[in-house]
Structure 1
Amino acid sequence: MLPPTGARHRIREVDSPSGTIRALLLAQERGTPMKRVPEAEAVEGQGFVGDRHGKKKPHGKRQLLLLDEASQHALRMSPGELKENVVLAGLPLESLPAGQRLALGTEVVVELTEPCVPCSKLERIRPGLLKESWGQRGQLARVLRGGTVREGDGVRLLDVNPDAPRPIRPKLP
């Protein structure tokens, strides 16, 4: 059971599918390789301690990047190559709406903000990856409740924030 929330973020558990955290990754600076870690500390409104996005824009929409393990395998990529912070298994991540809240482990709660749009930097990794990764690039999220999360922790769908902005999904270039 999640700890109670304040009036700012009323979150409710729903009976829904669950998944597992397969990998946690951090990059301290832009352009540096992602480092796999066994656990990470999430800070409300910031992201993971030690990750460059965690110190960039407090309360921004890109605090974490979550990626579905099935997408990672389909793209033939290893953890961290797509600059994701969390690799999840067992949840239909790409089909979840903006505003969907997820419990990562027993302490952390995140809210999906929008799909991550593939960028031209992917072509440096492998020619054709930009087009290949369309619709499989993961979801950006913000941290609603901080705490420690570990590889192997469970992931549960919570409720959907009815006030979350609904981004327009970009079309394939």
Structure 2
Amino acid sequence: MSGRLEGIARHDRPRGPIETLDHVAVTRELGVRGDLRGAIRPGKSGRRQISLIETESWQAALAELGTAVERTLPWHIRRANLLVQGIRLPREPGKIVAIGQSLRIEVTCECDPCSRMDEIHPGLKLALMPDWRGGVLGRVLTDGEIAIGDEVRIEE
């Protein structure tokens, strides 16, 4: 089974503006190039280096909030780095998500929605909580250049 990369986003500082991209380099050293959370700091594991969310999970959360919200909240407001469509992300640590020719990301944990989500829209945090709707976090295992439209696969 495979899906497709639908979106790429980054932000360079806490609460900073989100920039969406068509393509980007992702490395073990920096994560998504230019993203605040990508660089692994000394003494840290990098388990929160990169974040991914499913289009289907984002849409399900917004559907709970009502029709008007579905049309007004773009996926990147979640502050995730990558949006994937047509594939279910692993719900357990240790699984590998492959994107494009060479990028490999190890899933490390669930990306629990924080109170910031309710600042964006009341009820968004709760809508993102069931079944890992808030996405997954991971660490980059192998570098890769990725672009919107790239194939996304789960490797065992």
TM-score after normalising by structure 1 = 0.77
Structure 2 partner of 1:50: 34
Deviations 1:16-60 (CA, angstroms, capped at 9, x unpaired): x11100000011111112111011111115411100011253641
Q: Tell me which of 94, 98, 104 is aligned to 1:99.
A: 94
Question: Which residues of 2 match residues 127-142 of structure 1 at below 5 A?
Answer: 127-135=122-130, 136-142=133-139
Among 155, 158, 165, the alignment partner of 2:155 is 158
In the other structure, the counterpart of 1:34 is 18
Gaps of 5+ in 2: 63-69
Q: Which residue of 2 aligns with 1:87?
A: 83
Contact 2:91–2:110 under 8 Å retained in 1: no
Q: What is the Cα deviation at residue 78 of structure 1?
A: 0.9
More helix by share: 2
How far apart in 1 are the matches of 2:78 and 2:152? 21
> Aligned equivalents of 1:31 and 1:91: distance in 2?
29
Q: Which amino acid is 2:125 matched to?
A: L
Amino acid paired to 1:25: A
Contact persistence 1:69–1:87 (CA under 8 A): yes
In 1, the alpha carbon distance for the partners of 2:83 and 2:40 equals 21
Check if 1:125 corresponds to 2:120: yes
Are 1:116 and 2:111 an aligned pair?
A: yes
Partners of 1:48 and 1:119 lie apart in 2 by 21
Q: 1:67 aligns with which of 27, 43, 53?
A: 53
Aligned length: 142
Q: Deviations over 1:53-98 (max 9, x none)?
A: 11253641011110000112222331310001000001112x5321
Give the AA of the match of 2:103.
Answer: V
Instruction: Give the share of equivalent positions with the same residue, in percent.
Output: 28
Cross-structure match for 2:65? none
Structure 1 residue identity aligned to 2:56: A
